[in-house]
């Protein structure tokens, strides 16, 4: 029997045998958990992927009275391998940047002291709206890959990753504070501006 108390899961009646909720959450997000080996016949997939590179640049406006951050302009240069359909590739980059803006500025999972998720619906979980999306300029850099079809590389997921760093750097350039936690909500930016980060 287990018991949940004071942010810990413990063996009932043996309070010194416990694990914290923080440890459970951290372990649940790890990749490559140890699994028992699988024996039998089959084929394995090629686990080698094409390396790609990207450079992102954001221009932001920060309201010092509220901490609100608006992304005014965004440039995303990405190694796409060979752009078989450039319009589709640009669309994937646009979508990835918008997802990254959500991750950087809006999306946060909030829990209460009992571990209950408070942002479980779209009424509570903030996402970017069209008014939050700036002009996005994708720059396609073509370095074909021998591993991809016709030299193509994956283009949908890579543009999400650099967005938070680009926005954090733009905030640093704009107001001189280094944001180190996402989402960079107005409350967090305002606290950083006041030296309370």
- Strand-pair category, 135-141 with 69-79: parallel
| pLDDT tops 60 at residue 145 | yes
The single residue of 3, 157, 187, 196 carrying the catalytic annotation is: 157
- Reported confidence tier of residue 149, pLDDT bands at 50, 70, 90: confident
Q: How far apart are CA 20 and CA 18, in angstroms?
A: 7
Q: What is the largest CA-CA distance in the chain?
A: 64
pLDDT at res. 5: 87
CA proximity to 98, closest of 140, 144, 160, 33: 160
Q: Name residues whose C-beta falls within 8 Å of residue 108's C-beta, 6 or more positions apart in sequence.
A: 119, 125, 126, 182, 183, 185
pLDDT at res. 82: 93
Q: How far apart are CA 98 and CA 159, in angstroms?
A: 9
Read off the pLDDT of residues 160-182 as tens digits, 9 standing for 90 and up. 999 999 999 999 999 999 999 99
Is 88 in the active site? no
Helix, coil or strand: residue 156: coil
The helices-and-strands tally (H runs, E runs) of the chain is 4, 6
Q: CB-hemisphere CA count at 13 Å for 70?
A: 10
Read off the pLDDT of residues 30-78 as tens digits, 9 standing for 90 and up. 555 555 665 667 666 656 677 888 999 999 999 999 999 999 999 999 9
**Mean pLDDT (the chain, rounded):** 89
Query: Is it true that the peptide bond before 183 is cis, omega within 30 degrees of 0?
Result: yes
| pLDDT tops 70 at residue 19 | yes
pLDDT at res. 26: 73
pTM (two decimals): 0.74
Strand partners, 14: 11
- Domains for the chain: give ranges and CATH numbers: 1-30 (no CATH), 54-193 (3.30.365.10)
pLDDT at res. 132: 96
Give rounded-to-5 percent helix, strand, coil for the chain. 30, 20, 50
């Amino acid at each position: 029997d287990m018991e949940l108390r004071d942010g810990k899961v413990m063996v009932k009646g043996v309070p010194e045998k416990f694990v914290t909720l923080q440890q459970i959450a951290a372990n649940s997000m790890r990749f490559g958990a140890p699994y028992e080996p699988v024996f039998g016949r089959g084929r394995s997939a090629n686990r080698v992927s094409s390396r790609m590179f990207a450079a992102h640049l954001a221009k932001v406006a920060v309201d010092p009275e509220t901490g609100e951050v608006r992304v005014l302009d965004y440039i995303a240069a990405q190694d796409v391998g060979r752009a078989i359909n450039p319009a589709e590739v640009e669309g994937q980059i646009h979508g990835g940047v918008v997802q990254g803006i959500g991750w950087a500025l809006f999306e946060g999972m909030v829990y209460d002291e009992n571990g209950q998720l408070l942002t479980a619906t779209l009424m509570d979980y903030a996402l970017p709206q069209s008014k939050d999306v700036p002009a996005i300029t994708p720059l396609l850099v073509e370095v074909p890959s021998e591993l991809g079809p016709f030299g193509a590389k994956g283009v949908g997921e890579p543009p999400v990753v650099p967005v938070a760093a680009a926005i954090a750097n733009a905030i640093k350039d704009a107001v001189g504070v280094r944001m180190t936690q996402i989402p960079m909500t107005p409350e967090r930016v305002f606290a950083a501006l006041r030296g309370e980060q």
